[in-house]
Amino acid sequence: MYSIPSSQLTKRKIETYFPRILVFCVFLCLCSPSFSQDKRETIQFEIQVLGLKIGDLNVQKYQAGDTVHYLAESTVRFWFFGNVQVEISTHSKYVDGYFVKSFSASKTNRGDFTSKIYWDGKKYVVDAESYKFENQQPVMGMVQWCSAKTFFEEMESEKTFISEVYGLTTKIEKVEMGVYRTIISGNENEYSYEAGKLRKVLLENPIKNFQYKRVD
C-alpha cells in the first residue's frame, strides 16, 4: 500500500484548518477590548416628576474610527389632562472634540418630529422640528457641547452649547461648584455633577417640569 509522507499529511492538515484558524483569530481580535473600537459606555437615568418615576433614559458613548458617538433614548408616559406619551432617540457625533452631526427623532401621541443638524465646513445646517416649533436658522462657529455629551463629561463654563432637538445655542453658565445651567427656547435646565459624574438634571418644560436622576 502506498503511504503518504508525514510531511505531506502535515501540510494538508494545515491547508484544511488554516481558514478556520484565521476566522477564529479575526473573531478574537474583534471581540477583544484592546482591538474593538465599539466599546460602549452606558449610563441609565430615571425620569421623574415630583419624585415619581414617569420614564427611563439610557445613554451610550462609543468611538468608531475618528468619530465619537453619543446615543440617548428615552421613553416617558404620564397624565396631563390626558395621556402623554413621548419616545425620543438622539444620535450625536463628534470629531476632534467638536460636534459635527446629530439626528433626533421624537414619537408622541401628538405627532412625530425629527431634527437634523450637521457641519458643512462653514456652518451648522439646521432642520429642526418639535411640537409647535420649527427652526432652519444656521449656526455659525463650531460647538463643543450638546445635551448627549453632558451625560459623560462635566460641562465647561462659558462654552457654547447646542440643543439637538431645537438647533439653538446658548452659553453654559456655572452656578456653583459642579452645577451648571443652560437656557434653550426660554426653558432653564440645571445640571449637577459629583466627582465629574452627572447625577441629575432639572429640566423646565412648558407642559411639566421634570428631572433626570442617575441610576447607580
- Summarised one tens digit per residue, pLDDT across range 120-141 is 999 999 999 998 899 999 999 9
**What's the pTM?**
0.79
**pLDDT per residue over 52-87, tens digit each?**
999 999 999 999 999 999 999 999 887 766 677 889
What cell numbers appear for 70 in the block? 453619543
Same domain, 84 and 13: no
**Domain count for the chain:** 2
d(CA 72, CA 88): 8
Q: In this structure, are 31 and 95 located in the same domain?
A: no
**122 vs 206, more confident:** 122
Q: Are residues 61 and 90 in the same domain?
A: yes
Measured at the alpha carbon of residue 110, what is the angle toward residues 164 and 138, in degrees to the nearest 5? 25
Residues 161, 185, single domain; the answer is: yes
Q: Do residues 134 and 211 share a domain?
A: yes
Per-residue DSSP letter, 148: T
Residues 31 and 57 in one domain: no
Q: Is the pLDDT of residue 110 over 70?
A: yes
Q: Which domain holds residue 72?
A: 41-215
Whether 80 and 113 share a structural domain:
yes
> 84 or 146, which is more confident?
146
20 and 93 in a single domain? The answer is: no
User: Residue 2 pLDDT > 90, yes or no?
Assistant: no
Contact between 145 and 134 under an 8 Å Cβ cutoff? The reply is no
78 and 111 housed in the same domain: yes
